[in-house]
Amino acid sequence: MKIYNLFPLLAGPFDTWEPHLTRAAAMGFDWVFVNPIQKLGRSGSLYSIADYFAINPVLLRPGSARTADDQVRAMAATAGELGVSLMIDLVINHCAEDSALVNAHPDWFQHEQGRVAHPFCIEDNGTKVVWRDLAQFDHQQALQRPDAPDGQLAYYVKIVEHLIGLGFRGFRCDAAYQIPTEIWRRLIERIREAHPDTVFVAETLGCTPAQTRDTASAGFDAIFNSAKWWDFHGNWLLEQYESTRNIAPSIGFPESHDTRRMFEEFEGNIDALRQRYLFTAMFASGIMIPMGFEFGFRKRLDVVTTVPNDWEEPNIDITAFIAQVNAIKDQTPTFSGEGRIDRLDYPDPAILVLRKHAVIGPDQALLVLNKDPWNRQRFYVDDLHQLIQSPEPLRDLSPDWPMADLPAPFEFWLGPGMARVLVAGQPTAATAAPLPTP
């Protein structure tokens, strides 16, 4: 899954989304993920949903002859014509504190001292942060009457069915690990009885490895990994990957709507963005970026305050590079699966060498990455075949300066953040197709 996150508050009304959808398709993304589009509570946060069956008015065209739902369907039809599938956030761990549900179904919510409970988190420094605009659903209560036609689980099914009717066929399940696995298992099974091609992706960041494995086992098609935070030195990301790769594929991201903009974080270094996108795309099965990453936007996205006027003039344009990396991923099954990854010893600590195995079959690939996005590094090896366990010839699919012949000994000066992408295995008709030129 190659996912482009279209942030609704930045994009504006649905009838203005076509250029963003077109750009996503041109870069080779096959999914467009949309944050919540429903009517919000008084806080105005995208994740504080007051009415799951009404649309946020800021996304609608005033005076349109189309109903709110039909404006969404028209946008979805445009996405379909461009060949991209739509995914949306499914937020059922909580709703807006001022939602009518709180009074209509008080037994659906957790309570503390006679009042509805608010979700919270504990930050690294031990500070407790409480989201007082949110009401916490009681999912243990839902499991007491899981088959009730007027129950909580039936309501969740109804939400998903409604969104499918608007044109969405994928769901990013917000804070999925906070909801009992049995809820997800029953919900996914019920939806797939009528809609077998529906895709469910679990947001599991911040939970323990055991929680991740347990959540993923509920029938999710994919989970998210933490490649964003890896410094290329420790082993924790590789260990996390190995612990879950046989349970569910994972999706990485160099930046998300919840993080600081990379172009700002790396002081305008385009090589850092290229490095992180390439690594994240090659590392695991899936890749995701938020809108604006391709243009080096600096202003962080905000689930309350972002508006269309926050759209920036492009500082850079790496759309062609992203399209080329996505094409490499499409044409190389090894990079589109969750095969074993070996970290290989190399004497220069500034260079990362990973060997990735195909999930099925003998194919392998090498990723040789300059960890330093500011300075070039020399990579040397007597014979590249020392690094790969395959008798097949190596092909260079690197997005920068691919080589038709790979000499032995092999020497290459890697530019800042640059990588060599080398694949062992005979090309098929698909993999032999020419790659886009950046």
Are residues 248 and 219 in contact, defined by beta-carbon separation less than 8 angstroms? no
DSSP secondary structure string for all residues of 135-177: EEB-HHHHHHSTT-TTSHHHHHHHHHHHHHHHT--EEEETTGG
Q: How far apart (Å, rounded) are the C-alpha atoms in residues 286 and 207?
A: 20
For residue 432, the model assigns a pLDDT of 47
pLDDT score recorded for residue 124: 67
3-state secondary structure of 336: helix
Picking from 169, 136, 137, the residue whose alpha carbon sits closest to that of residue 155 is 137
The whole-number pLDDT of residue 372 equals: 96
Which 8-state DSSP code applies to residue 272? H
* 213 Cβ contact partners less than 8 Å away, ≥ 6 residues apart: 243, 244, 247
- Say if CB 396 and CB 361 are below 8 A apart: no
Which tokens hold the place of 286?
Answer: 């899936």
CB 414 within 8 A of CB 351: yes
Q: Are strands 111-112 and 199-202 parallel, antiparallel or unpaired?
A: unpaired
Residue reference for tokens 């260990």: 239
CB 251 within 8 A of CB 3: yes
Residues 6, 24: contact at Cβ < 8 Å? yes
Domains plus CATH for the chain? 2-336 (3.20.20.80), 341-424 (2.60.40.1180)
First to last CA, the chain: 22
**C-alpha triplet 58, 75, 50: angle, nearest 5°:** 40
* Regions of the chain with pLDDT less than 70: 122-124, 426-438
Token output for 169: 């066929």
pLDDT given at position 429 = 45
Which pLDDT belongs to residue 122?
A: 66
Residue 61's contacts (CB-CB under 8 Å, 6 or more residues apart) are 13, 14, 15, 71
Q: How far apart are CA 164 and CA 171, in angstroms?
A: 10
